[in-house]
């Protein structure tokens, strides 16, 4: 019985593991199946114990009947009825033989029941251990699932070369824009400096022309005849 139970549980476990998408759901279902099988096992052990008790009662009954016929044989002997005593002793012998047969069956059943009880306790211990491990396994499964998702994300991003190439192109574009801005600013500075220098040059040129004109006027005035005093 326990061999069939073990085979059934192993089959259910392998089937659940192969189909498992949700470890927590799978483990809960597995514990539920184990407990259902435990209930069936307890029923089987209970039947075995009942058979043992029945054989024990029948053994005791055969013993009691043998003793009763022995008592009757003694009564017959006391009454001087040896023939009747012999019949009683033959009946006693039948019950003695029956008692021996029942006793052998009872002892065999008792040994089998003891083994079944030990197997049942072992099964109960294993189920209790499985229940204790369930939460740990669920936690490990969730952690492994989270790690797998992270790894899948990393692999997906790492394998997407076009995304990294787009970043590289954008970086080059930004570099180009910054370079153009620097060039425009430098040209603006050059233009400003050139305009300022031009203004100073014109100012200096204007001052020089006035000096020349003034010098020419003075020379011209020296050549003129002196005017009579008024």
pLDDT of res. 214? 67
Q: Which of 59, 42, 63, 49 is nearest to 111 (CA)?
A: 49
| 229 confidence band (pLDDT: 50, 70, 90) | low
| Residue 182: both structure tokens together | 């620097």
Please give the sequence-ordered ranges of beta strands (E in DSSP) within the chain, or none if there are none: none
Are 26 and 80 members of one domain? Answer: yes
- 102 and 142 share a domain? yes
Same domain as 148, residue 213 = no
CB distance 39 to 103 below 8 Å: no
Three-state DSSP class for residue 91: helix
Question: Mean of the pLDDT values across residues 140-167?
Answer: 73
**Mean pLDDT in residue range 104-121:** 93
Residue 170 sits in the same domain as residue 130: no
Tokens encoding 204: 């200096």
- In this structure, the answer to whether residues 37 and 104 fall within a common structural domain is yes
User: In the predicted model, is pLDDT for residue 16 greater than 70?
Assistant: no
- The count of structural domains within the chain is 2
Enumerate helices (H) and strands (E) in the chain, giving the number of each.
Answer: 4, 0
Residues near 221 by beta carbon (within 8 Å), at least 6 away in sequence: none
Q: Look at residue 54 and tell me whether its pLDDT is greater than 80.
A: yes
The reported pTM is 0.51
- Looking at the structure, do residues 120 and 187 belong to the same domain, yes or no? no
pLDDT digits (tens, 9 = 90+) for 185-203: 777 666 666 666 666 666 6
Q: 123-134: per-residue pLDDT in tens? A: 889 888 888 888
Of 159, 175, 203, the position where a domain reaches its end is: 159
pLDDT at 228 over 80: no
- The residue that leads in pLDDT, 218 or 158, is 218
Domain housing 152: 2-159
| 228 is a domain residue | no
Assigned domain for 85 exists: yes
Asked if 62 and 118 sit in the same domain, the reply is: yes
Measure the CA–CA gap between 195 and 205, rounded to whole angstroms. Answer: 15
Question: Which of 159, 193, 214 is the C-terminal boundary of a domain?
Answer: 159
Helix (H) or strand (E) holding 190: helix 161-223
Segment 90-117 shows an average pLDDT of 94
169 and 98 inside one domain: no
User: Do both 94 and 113 map to the same domain?
Assistant: yes
pLDDT of residue 199: 65
Specify the residue for token string 């204007």. Answer: 206
Residues 50 and 125 in one domain: yes
Among 143, 159, 175, the domain-final residue is: 159
């Amino acid at each position: 019985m326990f061999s069939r139970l073990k085979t059934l549980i192993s089959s259910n476990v392998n089937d659940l593991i192969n189909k498992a998408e949700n470890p927590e759901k799978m483990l809960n279902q597995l514990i539920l199946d184990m407990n259902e099988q435990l209930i069936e096992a307890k029923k089987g052990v209970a039947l075995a114990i009942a058979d043992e008790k029945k054989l024990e009662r029948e053994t005791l009954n055969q013993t009691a009947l043998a003793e009763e016929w022995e008592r009757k044989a003694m009564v017959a002997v006391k009454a001087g009825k040896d023939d009747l005593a012999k019949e009683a002793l033959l009946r006693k012998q039948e019950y003695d033989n029956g008692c021996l047969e029942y006793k052998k069956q009872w002892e065999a059943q008792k040994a089998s029941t003891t083994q079944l009880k030990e197997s049942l306790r072992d099964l109960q211990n294993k189920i209790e251990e499985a229940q204790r491990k369930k939460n740990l396994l669920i936690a490990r499964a969730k952690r492994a699932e989270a790690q797998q998702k992270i790894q899948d994300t990393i692999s997906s991003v790492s394998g997407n070369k076009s995304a990294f190439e787009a970043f590289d192109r954008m970086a080059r574009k930004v570099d180009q824009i910054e370079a153009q801005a620097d060039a425009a600013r430098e040209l603006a500075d050059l233009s400003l400096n050139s305009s300022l220098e031009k203004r100073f040059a014109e100012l200096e040129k204007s001052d020089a022309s006035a000096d020349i004109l003034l010098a020419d006027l003075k020379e011209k005035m020296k050549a003129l005849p002196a005017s009579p005093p008024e």
